[in-house]
Amino acid sequence: MLNAILPVFLIILLGVAIRRYGWLPDAFFPSIEKFTYNICFPALLFSGTARLSFHSGQVGELALATLLPTALAVAATLLALLPARGLPAPTRSSVVQGAIRPNTYFGIAVSALFFDQHTASLVMLSLALCLPAVNVISVIALSWWSGTRADGGRIVRALAANPIILSTLAGALWSLSGLPLPAMLFNTLDILGRAALCLGLVCVGSGLVFSLQGLRPVALGLTSALKLLLLPLLAAKVCLLFAVSAPVALAACFYCALPTAPNAYIMARQMGGDTRLMAALITLQTLLAALTVPLSPQLLQWLH
């Protein structure tokens, strides 16, 4: 596991260094992130899932093994917030975001190094299944606690145009259709996909914020425990309870162990969340993921 996780963090640290020491212009990261998110990652996701040989039953298993733990984690988060009456409303919305949203870049890059192609593609499918749900929950939390009215139509349009969701679902449909795979097309997609892993991790590093100003240590620790410990434990328990297949269980536990998403900061800023807490959550969880993510496949054995 160390051989897989260490290169990931070295590339993340490269992103930190590039940003901190100004080795590249400030405009570099927004441009490269847009290119990676809209072109390279969709190429990787489509080619990976289109090559899969899976049946529709696995999709149902995966939905159960990821969405049910997510729903339980949301309930646990709301219960944990009940006694914290002095906690500001914007902070509450950021706690919800930090407890359920996954880092897509980190998940795709690390799963490609950790697992065989089949399991890694199931991780990609987990993201496609869960991203709509966690985005809607995050928007509802932000709207509820910030007083910002959410535009339901805008949310639906954004999810329907999400390249991560579209490319993964398109690849899954291609696989289920049984259509042949054109070699020229998939060789092109593979070249773009290889670029996605490096560029995505550099972008993750560039977004980390190492500042203690305005931190709420209890909220920071509780939210990180909910995301990195409780959610993967719930996933493992659900997988064992419903006896899902081994590849699906591995993918579900890995997905649920991912650190929180960098774009949660952008949503917090746009909709009145606690941006300082959100930035701290992203940084802390990304660093702690070096320990928690490699352990996620072992949870099934420990709880069995």
Spans of all domains in the chain: 2-303
H-type alpha helices, 101-182: 104-114, 117-146, 152-160, 163-177
pLDDT digits (tens, 9 = 90+) for 30-46: 888 889 888 998 898 89
pLDDT value for 169: 84
Could you give the CA distance from residue 202 to residue 43 in angstroms, rounded to a whole number? 18
pLDDT digits (tens, 9 = 90+) for 199-209: 888 888 887 87
Mean pLDDT of 214-233: 92
pLDDT value for 216: 83
Task: Provide the 8-state DSSP code for 181.
Answer: -
pLDDT value for 214: 61
Q: Which residue has the higher pLDDT, 57 or 24?
A: 24
pLDDT greater than 90 at residue 290: no
Distance of CA 198 to CAs 11, 110, 187, Å?
A: 7, 11, 18
pLDDT greater than 90 at residue 12: no
Average confidence score pLDDT of the chain: 87
Could you give the CA distance from residue 286 to residue 125 in angstroms, rounded to a whole number? 21
Mean pLDDT of 12-20: 90
pLDDT greater than 80 at residue 54: no
CB 87 within 8 A of CB 218: no
pLDDT value for 150: 59
pLDDT value for 178: 84
Percent of the chain beyond pLDDT 70?
95
Distance of CA 201 to CAs 132, 196, 227, 296, Å?
A: 23, 8, 20, 20
pLDDT digits (tens, 9 = 90+) for 148-188: 665 677 677 777 787 888 888 888 888 888 888 889 998 99
Could you give the CA distance from residue 281 to residue 275 in angstroms, rounded to a whole number? 10
pLDDT digits (tens, 9 = 90+) for 75-94: 999 999 998 888 999 999 99
CB 291 within 8 A of CB 163: no
Could you give the CA distance from residue 114 to residue 250 in angstroms, rounded to a whole number? 11
Looking at the domain covering 2-303, what would its CATH class be?
mainly alpha
Phi/psi for 163 (5° steps) reads -65, -30
pLDDT value for 177: 86
Q: Which residue has the higher pLDDT, 56 or 97?
A: 97
pLDDT value for 254: 96
pLDDT value for 126: 92
Task: Provide the 8-state DSSP code for 115.
Answer: S
pTM for this model (two decimals): 0.84
pLDDT greater than 80 at residue 295: yes
Phi/psi for 252 (5° steps) reads -65, -45
Structure tokens that stand for 292 in this block: 């928690």
Torsion sign across C-alpha atoms 266, 269, 272, 274: positive
